[in-house]
Structure 1
Amino acid sequence: MAGNSQRRNRRTSNKKGATVGSGGKRRRSLEGKGPTPPAEMRKGHVKQRTAAARARTAARRPAPRRGGPKGTNELVVGRNPVVEALREGVPANALYVQQFIDNDERVREALQLCAERGGINLMEAPRPELDRMTNGLNHQGLVLQVPPYDYAHPEDLLDAAAEDGEDPLIVALDGVTDPRNLGAVVRSVAAFGGHGVVVPERRAAGMTAGAWKTSAGAAARIPVARATNLTRALEAYQKAGLMVVGLAADGDTELHEVDVLDGPVVIVVGSEGKGLSRLVGEACDLRVRIPMPGGAESLNAGVAAGVVLYEASRRRA
């Protein structure tokens, strides 16, 4: 009878292959799978479906372009840039995460930072939609949407100084196009007790995510004003009683000889290559040079502004 044979090594089961052990499958099944992902990341969850629908709607809108009109959002693209922006407190209103993304430590940190900060919408989107949003850039499954910066008016900087009961200390940038230089200037203004920064509306760096990161959080405290015409803005400051001091390699006066830095003053910094434009240079009350015994031809805008702001702060103290 089947199954009752006394022959040795006779098979008594229809199961094929070795039956001893599981090859580690049971052990691996008992290992933890990490923290429970947010509801927006759980397949089939109502919040996941809602986030995906929002992402599809947003992806159909025209992608923002660098240097576009005022009021457009900026996108920070890629895992490292997104995590760094969130670490530095760059303002954001949405984080787009690719569906079925490889959940590495950078993705987990981005999700954790969003949860800790609050106010950032977490949306899951298919890869093709993220490709359309970023115009085909290598987003690595993470896209952070940064809202447009709320610029102040140049007169608002005078009001800020009046509220503090201090003489205005303002920096104006002429033709500085690198957002990192703008961020560095904002950081120096915060460090040395300044009241704000003025930038032209055209052909100049704006408060992008890069400028926010370089400012190391100072952009949250120091207002940046945008002037339609920088020359007219400087003339308005002069009428309000401020001295306009322009930095120039061929300036008539060296920095240590200037005696107006302890009063109401606007420090004008030009680009490293071209310096001050003609009209802005003519609008300055003084053209000042920073002595450089080491023989360097020029300093970048961020360093030059920091040197003069330190000297102004020292004299005011």
Structure 2
Amino acid sequence: MDTFALVVTIGVALFFTYTNGFHDSANAIATSVSTRALTPRAALLMAAVMNFAGAFLGSGVAKTVSEGLIETPHGSHGMWILFAALTGAITWNLITWYFGLPSSSSHALFGGMVGAALAASSTVYWSGVLEKVVIPMFVSPVVGLCVGYLVMCAILWFFRRATPRRAQRGFRIAQTVSAAGMALGHGLQDAQKTMGIVVMALVIADVEDEGDAIPWWVKVACALMLSLGTYAGGWRIMRTLGRRIIDLQPPQGFAAETTAAGIMYTASFMFHAPISTTHVITSAIMGVGATKRVKAVRWGVAKNIVAGWFITMPAAAAVAAAVYWVVHLAFE
């Protein structure tokens, strides 16, 4: 049973990574596609390759996810907690993808972990949840909004005398680089989150010891599934990010992508903090758009997106708790 539980849990973790890829592919390329800096298929291929590469840039985020959030006892009991957590996250990913809502796959995963642990009467390290999840969830969008606004203001000032047509052409080319940087940061962040879950499963099954380096096959498997999911594309969410919040032009798209990528690299390398790429790019787009005029941002759409952010964790937690109870009745 323990081996069966391990195989199933790792399989579900890899499927979660796949849904994460197509759910969040819009984060990296929506602005580039909407400004026609890249064709949709070229953008998806570039994002898939950069997502794969980004997964190998570090392991700090993976360790943050695998340690200090919940207690997972060894054996099938702990494995079903992870299974339920992943199922809750996948369910929320599919629901928000269907409605074109750019919610956070990361926080769906964290909510699932907390919900499953509570249902199993396992320990939740609330200080860790607060420090590693809740605080970054509030801080990163605020930083994205403010930095996006400032970066766009700087661009407007530096290029105030530039010929509009030439500037648009130049920023369209520059967006290829900024979109690649955004995709690389997405791989750095989101592939590692699943690596952390797989490592937890291996530790629970006594296959790996806590504190060991992440096995190479875990890195490759997570990177590959995220990359394949990204290439599948999340067109519903792409329309929301690329056009429904604000009508983006190449300079605005470049500013938003550069802002979001910079925040993700800072969070990953300096703080090992698992932040949401969705929160960062969405808030950066809002900040960039506000430089036109405040009313240029469709705040009604933005309000619905932000509301979805707050619902994500409890919704995924509720699904995960229900799944754990079902599994517990079936197998324990």
Shorter-chain TM-score range: under 0.3
| Greater fraction strand | 1
Q: Using CA pairs below 8 Å that are at least 6 residues apart, which structure has the higher relative contact order?
A: 2
| Greater fraction helix | 2
TM-score normalised by length of structure 2 = 0.21
